[in-house]
Amino acid sequence: MSDTLSALRARVQNKTATVGVIGLGYVGLPLARAFAAAGFRVLGFDIDSAKVEKLNAGKSFIKQIPDATVAEMRAKGFEATDRFERLSEPDAILICVPTPLTEAREPDLTYVVNSANAISARLRRGQLVILESTTYPSTTRGVMLPVLERTGLTPGTDFFVAFSPEREDPGNPTHSVSHIPKVVGGLDDASGDVACALYSAIVPKVVRVSTPEVAEACKILENTYRAINIALVNEMKVLYDRMGIDVWEVIDAAKTKPFGFQAFYPGPGLGGHCIPLDPFYLSWIARHYGMNTRFIELAGEVNTAMPMFVITKLADALNDAGRAVRGSKVAILGMAYKKDVDDPRESPSFELMDHLLKKGAHVSYNDPHIPALPRMRHWPHLDPMESQPLTPEYLAAQDCVLIATDHTAYDYAFIVAHSKLVIDTRNATKTVAAGRDKIVRA
């Protein structure tokens, strides 16, 4: 074992190492919290100076992490900064930045490359660099590593590199960072050793794999599995709707089988930063190997068609009530991509809103977790809008109420009772007895 590796491992094991986290969002901030709670000094990096200022004041911007938790992190030495020249300070640097798609559905690794460039400018001997952002296999070795090697330092000897995919489930207290096994793939044995030692301090189990490529492929497989199975039940929803069969009842019946079936549920479209995007990273790299990933492409077609299916059901329901979409008042309930979170990334609610506005509807929304709509990368043309109070008067004034996200805070019997027409995309009204003639499943 080299002196450089030995010294780094000693700092990790006695928790005198400083952990740097680039990207203090829904992945990076919980990761920073876990390391701070374990006794490490944590330095968080983000390009958003307003976010940095808020965190340093002990305030959170993510609902699942309360202000008290950030204040506790600060008391334990956590600091946020937008000064990337300080990247020479951490002993371990974890990259947790977005990996979106371009308009052509190709990987956009701008944030990863920018992070690698910032690290490279300050890289020193004895540092560990770990990429956590979900990406296609070979990114760590083929994209990030060459940037770091421009320093003239030698990987595996002077500095260490690994990939460990994030497995954050926003809003799920059962599956937080500290409760989920961590897959780790080192560039070499030394990198794998020290990366595993680092994560062992915060997770119940480290699953070591042979290479970064295996770890990268693991995360892509996890999310592609979900995307394909969601597409299956979405397609079943459309078929069973035409047949007059309740797909939700079918799923409830099927999941009583104790083997060979796992329940997935349909919805108005895919949301979140992972499932709508990650499978296309795999299909993109597959084309470089002369292969078409037909399952992934087909699943993408099915899932991306769901918002328009909902709009068609809504338009038909309004037509049956003697109204056109144009000029109708439509309230969307839930702008977050899933229930009980304040995360709007890739939420199908924005596409639903866009379709309705283009058809001439007067659209408003309510979301107890999102008081005002943030600017969205794909929907920059949407006007600023604030959540409306969910009063009897507000509901009664709407021609249609569209349940896009099934937040637990909603009283669905109350919503149905005071609405003229309810379009339910989440089976949220399944236990509502009165007013079922107002409810349309979509």
**Tens-digit pLDDT profile for residues 378-436:** 777 888 899 999 999 999 999 999 999 999 999 999 999 999 999 999 999 999 999 99
Q: Where in the chain is the domain with CATH 3.40.50.720?
A: 3-212, 303-441
Query: Residue 277 has what pLDDT?
Result: 78
Write the CATH number of the domain with boundaries 303-441. 3.40.50.720
CB 378 within 8 Å of CB 391: no
* Distances, alpha carbon 272 to alpha carbons 24, 218, 338, 394, in Å: 17, 19, 8, 29
Q: State how far the Cα of 164 lies from the Cα of 187, in Å rounded to an integer.
A: 11
Residue 248 pLDDT grade (very low, low, confident, very high; cuts 50, 70, 90): very high
3-212 classified as CATH 3.40.50.720: yes
Helix axes 294-304, 212-243, angle to 10 degrees: 50
Tokens for 380, please give them: 């920059």
Query: Residue 172 has what pLDDT?
Result: 65
Candidates 196, 218, 274, 400; catalytic one: 274
CB 23 within 8 Å of CB 110: no
Tokens for 214, please give them: 């295996």
Whether the predicted pLDDT of 111 surpasses 90 = yes
Task: For residue range 277-305, list pLDDT tens digits in order.
Answer: 778 888 889 898 999 898 888 998 999 99
99: helix, coil or strand? coil
CB 143 within 8 Å of CB 117: no
- Percent with pLDDT over 70 in the chain: 97
First to last CA, the chain: 61
Task: For residue range 345-393, list pLDDT tens digits in order.
Answer: 889 999 999 999 999 999 999 999 999 998 877 777 888 899 999 999 9
Q: Is residue 274 annotated as part of the catalytic site, yes or no?
A: yes
State the alpha helices, DSSP H only, in 143-211. Answer: 145-149, 189-199
Burial category of 241 from C-beta neighbours within 10 Å (exposed 0-12, middle 13-18, buried 19 and up): middle
Side chain identity at 162, as an amino acid letter? A
Q: What is the DSSP string of 6-59?
A: HHHHHHHHTT-SEEEEE--STTHHHHHHHHHHTT-EEEEE-S-HHHHHHHHTT-
* Distances, alpha carbon 17 to alpha carbons 11, 56, 237, 366, in Å: 5, 21, 52, 45
